[in-house]
Amino acid sequence: MILTTTIYLRKEGYTLMLHRTKKKNDINEGKWIGVGGKLEKGESPFECAIRETFEETGYHIIDARFVGMVTFPGLHNGEDELMFIYESHHFEGELHGNDEGELKWIKDEELYDLPSWPADYHYLDWLKDNQFHQAKVIYDDDGTLVSYSEE
């Protein structure tokens, strides 16, 4: 199973999003997503979220909330993915560019207008409460959402 993180950095009614436009052969090409990536050997999901945030944005996470997790059966050539989702309002540093795309602060009310993975809009809803969420998401080979279920 592939283990990944996504973290949404938020401040004053804005959320930092990454428009994936630079990476070759990118499953996320053209989509707006939160920052994050794959866990490295020996790393916890929270450690991964902190590392990936710094690598992709230049921000140091001071504190974050674990929002939930999503299982994607068979997403990567038949291999399952488990994604851990966080949000942070407490970070510091200077925003810098990265080699995956454009980082941009988006008004929270405009997040749902961005081209993203269909299930990502549910995760944005998760940021609105203080509950723990978990879901199972199935996409077909062309990225069409087949099913979304919260567990």
Residue 20 pLDDT > 90:
no
In three-state secondary structure terms, 113 is helix
Closest CA to 34 of 141, 117, 148, 113: 117
Looking at residue 141, its pLDDT comes to: 81
Identify the bridge partners of residue 69 per DSSP, sorted by sequence position: 84, 134
Q: What would the pLDDT profile of 96-108 be if each residue is shown by its tens digit?
A: 988 888 999 999 9
pLDDT band at 21 (very low <50, low <70, confident <90, very high): confident
CA distance 144 to 146: 6
CA distance 39 to 25: 20
| CATH topology (fold) of 2-150 | Nucleoside Triphosphate Pyrophosphohydrolase (3.90.79)
CA distance 76 to 28: 13
114-151: b (≥16 Cβ within 10 Å) or e = bebbebbebbbebbeeeeebebebbbeeeeeeeeeeee
Closest CA to 50 of 22, 76, 78, 88: 88
Q: What would the pLDDT profile of 29-58 be if each residue is shown by its tens digit?
A: 778 999 999 999 999 999 999 999 999 999
Q: What are phi and psi of 32, to 5 degrees?
A: -100, 125
pTM assigned to the model: 0.93
Provide the token pair at 101: 């795309």
CA distance 53 to 20: 15
CA distance 39 to 133: 20
